[in-house]
Chains A and B, each alone.
Chain A
Amino acid sequence: MESEIDRLRKKVENFPSPSSYNRLAELLHLAKQEVEAEAVCRKCVKEFPRNSQVYALVADIQLATGRKAEAGVSLRSALERDGRNYAAARMYADWLADNRDLPGAVAQLKQVLAFRPADPAVMRRISDIEGQLRGVPTGAMPVRPAPSSLRPATPPSAPAPPGAGSAVRSATPAPAASGVRSGIATPGSGVRRSAFDTLAAETGVRATVVVDTQGQVVLSKALPTSSGKEDTLAAFAAAIGEAVADLSKLAGNPAPSSWVLGAEIGQVLAFRRDNGFSVVALADPTVRPAMLELRARQALIDLGAT
């Protein structure tokens, strides 16, 4: 183990990557070198702030050293960066259960079932917690299948569809609120949302929505600080899209496929393709539109654009 730690130490110095940092921190943690493991995690957070797994590792170290409250914060950070982080989601559910938030723990675990359908360990844990809620001792409850609304369309053995996790709304506020508006049929909504989730997870992105031509929200994802602004963003984006199309028509051009509105402390970016949907993002002023455009284009292709 020692040689592997040394090898990884050299690797993170010469060719740093999130995976090598994570592995090194994991090995140090296993070797009970908690202080050094945490230092490696901090360095990784500094260099790769979007790395979700490292926050889960930090939480694990914090739990091992008795810092439960800090661990909760780290786990929320992990899930803000990647809502489909299995380890972080399960740890957070356990953390909620330890803090007597049993309904919250169940809701968290049900979110895991959305991207890991029929996961036996998760289903067992849900049964245990639900048993505790009813006053039955832990382990005495039989394992029940997931509720029908959460039951996967794919067989239990099939891999989870990418991005399906965000289609499920939690009973408790999730770190990044997301949702698919019911009643609006969209090709691929709730099935392939990985590109949309990736866009929403980009550094500096505060909120992202998929909007139809009438300004209705089809999909949305927002950080807590920007939550509630999705409808405003969608309605104005549709109106601005129309105004831009009118202006372009007068200039003798077809409607543009993207627009960027820069403001003092934020910017709004909108990208459209031929299927009538637009991806609109509210972001920090420092965010590079070109990078977001790539993600938005992929999200639109996921929604059925050509």
Chain B
Amino acid sequence: MQDILGELNRVRGVGGSLLFNADGLLMESMLRSDADEQALAAAAGALIAQTSRLCDSLSIGKQTAFSASGDKGGVMMCAAGAGTLLLLLDPNANLALLRLEVKPFADRIAQRLTL
């Protein structure tokens, strides 16, 4: 799994990647900064729980992606099989391009998780 995250981190705009499960527990990570991986996974899990509830309340189907951006960077999350992939984004990240580029990595992770 580290090899996939390593490749993912080489994509322009990605500043680190982390895989966590539905309970917010860390599955794998490769971060460039010295951020607390466990805490990041837990916070991302809490966020996913909120967004899932919002999707249910609004009846807009299952959530497919989440991204947040600001002047100093952002985060992007997408489903990767049984896990969820969290990407830390650089300020200059191209969100539209990243969405396209991250999809094959998420598919590979999903495939790896089912093996």
Binding site for B on A (CB under 8 A): 229, 232-233, 236-237, 239-240, 243-244, 246-248, 250-268, 282
**Partner pick for B33 among A252, A254, A256, CB 8 A cutoff:** A252
Are A251 and B73 interface neighbours, CB within 8 A?
Answer: yes
Q: Which residues of B contact A282 (CB under 8 A)?
A: 58, 60
CB-contact partner of A250 in B35, B61, B65, B74, under 8 A: B35
The number of inter-chain residue pairs (CB within 8 angstroms) is: 110
List the B side residues contacting A263 at CB < 8 Å.
55, 60-64
B4 interfacial contact with A, CB 8 Å: no
Number of interface residues of B (CB under 8 A): 34
Which residues of A sit under 8 angstroms from B51, Cβ to Cβ? 240, 261
* Cross-interface CB contact of B68 among A237, A248, A250, cutoff 8 Å: A248
B113 at the interface (CB under 8 A from A): no
Contact status B75-A248, CB under 8 Å:
yes
Closest to A239 in B: B50
> Known contacts being A259-B68, A261-B66, is A252 close to B35, with CB within 8 Å?
yes
| Known contacts A251-B73, A253-B70, A260-B67; is-contact A232 B47 (Cβ 8 Å) | no
B30-51 interface with A by 8 A CB criterion: 33, 35-36, 39-40, 43-44, 46-47, 50-51
Q: Assess whether B71 is interfacial by the CB under 8 Å rule.
A: yes
8 contacts between A and B (CB under 8 A): A236-B57, A250-B43, A251-B16, A252-B33, A261-B65, A261-B66, A265-B60, A265-B61
**Contact present for B75 and A264 (CB under 8 Å):** no
Identify which of A229, A244, A251, A258 gathers the most chain B CB atoms within 10 Å of its CB: A251
Which residues of B are found within 8 Å of A236, using beta-carbon distances? 50, 53-54, 57
Return chain B residues, CB-CB under 8 Å to A243. Answer: 43, 46-47, 50
Chain B residues contacting A261 (CB-CB under 8 Å) are 51, 54-55, 63, 65-66
Contact indicator A264/B72 (Cβ below 8 Å): no
Q: How far is the CA of A164 from the CA of B44 in the complex (A)?
A: 41
Cβ of B88 under 8 Å from chain A: yes
- Knowing A263-B60, A264-B61, say if A247 contacts B47 (CB, 8 Å): yes
In angstroms, how far is the closest chain B Cβ from the Cβ of A135? 48
User: Are A244 and B62 touching (Cβ within 8 A)?
Assistant: no
Minimum distance in angstroms from B63 CB to a CB of chain A: 5
Q: A236-B54, A256-B75 are in contact. List 12 more A-B contacts (CB 8 A).
A: A232-B58, A243-B43, A244-B75, A247-B44, A247-B68, A252-B35, A254-B72, A259-B69, A261-B66, A264-B60, A264-B64, A266-B60
